[in-house]
Amino acid sequence: MAHAAPASRRVTRQRRRPDVFGARTHAAAKVALPVVLGLVYGYWAAANRRDSGPITGWNLLFGFLTALVFAVVFAALWEMAPRLGRELHALVWFVFTGCAVGFLISQSDESVLKSAGLGVVVGAGVLVTLFYRYYTHEDAAGRRVD
């Protein structure tokens, strides 16, 4: 019966994921992802605000301005947040997600308490999930291991 030979510690510590995409693809995704998410978010906010009414010029302007603000803030956080520690990194995404969800809910003529409550609940879910992920993918000194 054959058995696998034990691997040295050096080999097991150097385990890295292969980079499937090239530098050009990563650069394109760095621009495309905030733009696409911003357009989807802007359309969603404008649709909530219009409430099945007619599409007007003000509604289009609102949607595009919302998309622009969302895309700029998302791109800034995506660039800046990984430089923070795991607690602040998760907290920044909690605040961003909570504000984004709360704003969407507030555009559908719901109460302020409902929009704030749902923003906090969804943001708390993001906080717990991301903190767990960052906590399990860093060593004791706070350096990423994946």
Whether pLDDT at 50 is above 60: yes
- The structure tokens listed for 126 are 């993001």
Averaged pLDDT, 124-128: 93
Whether pLDDT at 1 is above 90: no
Which long-range contacts (C-beta less than 8 Å, at least 24 apart) are formed by 70-77? Answer: 70/37, 70/38, 70/41, 70/42, 70/100, 71/34, 71/35, 71/37, 71/38, 71/39, 72/34, 72/38, 74/34, 74/37, 74/38, 75/30, 75/34
pLDDT digits (tens, 9 = 90+) for 88-121: 988 999 999 999 999 999 998 888 999 999 999 9
pLDDT of residue 11: 53
Whether pLDDT at 146 is above 80: no
Q: Which residues, in sequence order, are bridge partners of residue 144? A: 138
pLDDT digits (tens, 9 = 90+) for 7-31: 666 555 556 667 777 888 888 888 9
Domain spans, the chain: 24-74, 84-146
Average per-residue pLDDT in the chain?
86
